[in-house]
Amino acid sequence: MKTLLEKIKSLFTQKPKPASEPQAQSAVDEPPTEPRSKQKPKADRFTLISWVVTIVLVVSLLGSTLYYKSTLPPTVVTAPPQATEESTGVGQPQVGAPNVTVEGSGFFQSIFRELQLKTNIPERERTEPVLYRVSRGDAMYNIAENYKIKTETILYVNEQLEDNPHSLRPGMELTIPPVDGMYYVWKEGDTFESVADKFYAEAQDIIDFTGNNIDLTDPKVEVGTKIFIPGGSRELRNWAADLQTATRGAGTGTGEVNQTNVCGGGPVASGLGWPADSHALSGNAYGPGHLGIDIDAPEGSNVYAAGTGVVTMAQGGWNYGYGNVVQIDHGNGYVTIYAHLSTIFVTQCQTVGQGAVIGLSGNTGNSFGAHLHFEIRIGGSNINPYEIVQ
pLDDT in tens, 348-387: 999 999 999 999 999 999 888 899 999 999 988 899 999 9
Distances (CA, A) of 381 to 75, 163, 262, 292, 337: 65, 18, 18, 11, 12
Confidence category of residue 201, pLDDT binned at 50, 70, 90: very high
Among 5-14, 145-154, 214-223, 284-293, the range scoring the smallest mean pLDDT is: 5-14
Torsion, Cα 7 8 10 12, to 10 degrees, reads 170
Among 101-105, 130-134, 189-193, 311-315, the range scoring the smallest mean pLDDT is: 101-105
Q: Is pLDDT of 186 > 80?
A: yes
Among 91-100, 179-188, 196-205, the range scoring the smallest mean pLDDT is: 91-100
Q: Is pLDDT of 330 > 90?
A: yes
How much is the pLDDT for 239? Answer: 84
Answer whether 128's CB lies under 8 Å from 211's CB: yes
Among 93-102, 126-135, 193-202, 226-235, the range scoring the smallest mean pLDDT is: 93-102
Q: Which residues contact 272 (CB under 8 A, 6 or more apart)?
A: 306, 307, 330, 334, 336, 354, 376, 388, 389
How much is the pLDDT for 12? Answer: 52
What is the distance between the alpha carbons of residues 180 and 184, in angstroms, rounded to a whole number?
14
Distances (CA, A) of 164 to 150, 152, 169, 240, 295: 14, 10, 12, 10, 17
**pTM higher than 0.75 for the full model?**
no
Answer whether 193's CB lies under 8 Å from 205's CB: no
- 376, with CB counted inside 10 A (0-12, 13-18, 19+), is buried
Say whether 70 sits in a helix, a strand or coil. helix
What is the distance between the alpha carbons of residues 36 and 26, in angstroms, rounded to a whole number?
17
> How much of the chain, in percent, has pLDDT values that exceed 90?
47
| pLDDT tens-digit series, residues 54-104 | 898 888 888 888 787 777 666 655 555 554 444 444 444 444 445 544 444
Residues composing the chain: 390
How much is the pLDDT for 334? Answer: 93
How much is the pLDDT for 182? Answer: 96
| Residue with the larger pLDDT of the pair 26 and 325 | 325
What is the distance between the alpha carbons of residues 160 and 174, in angstroms, rounded to a whole number?
9
Q: Is pLDDT of 174 > 90?
A: yes
Q: Is pLDDT of 27 > 50?
A: no
Q: What is the mean pLDDT of residues 338-353?
A: 96
How much is the pLDDT for 86? Answer: 46
Among 165-174, 214-223, 258-267, the range scoring the smallest mean pLDDT is: 258-267
Average pLDDT of the chain to the nearest whole number = 81
Counting Cα atoms < 13 Å in the Cβ hemisphere of 384 gives: 9
Distances (CA, A) of 385 to 149, 155, 214, 294, 327: 22, 22, 44, 11, 15
Q: Is pLDDT of 1 > 60?
A: no
Count the Cβ atoms, other than its own, within 10 Å of residue 320. 17
For each of the domains in the chain, give its residue range(s) and CATH number, in order of start.
130-230 (3.10.350.10), 239-387 (2.70.70.10)
Among 14-18, 75-79, 227-231, the range scoring the smallest mean pLDDT is: 14-18
Pairing of strands 293-295, 302-304: unpaired
Say whether 147 sits in a helix, a strand or coil. coil
Q: What is the mean pLDDT of residues 309-334?
A: 94
What is the distance between the alpha carbons of residues 49 and 84, in angstroms, rounded to a whole number?
56
Return the bridge partners of 226, or none: 185
Q: Is pLDDT of 206 > 50?
A: yes
Amino acid at 159: E
| Residue with the larger pLDDT of the pair 359 and 262 | 359
Distances (CA, A) of 285 to 47, 153, 220, 273, 389: 92, 15, 39, 18, 14
Q: Is pLDDT of 41 > 80?
A: no
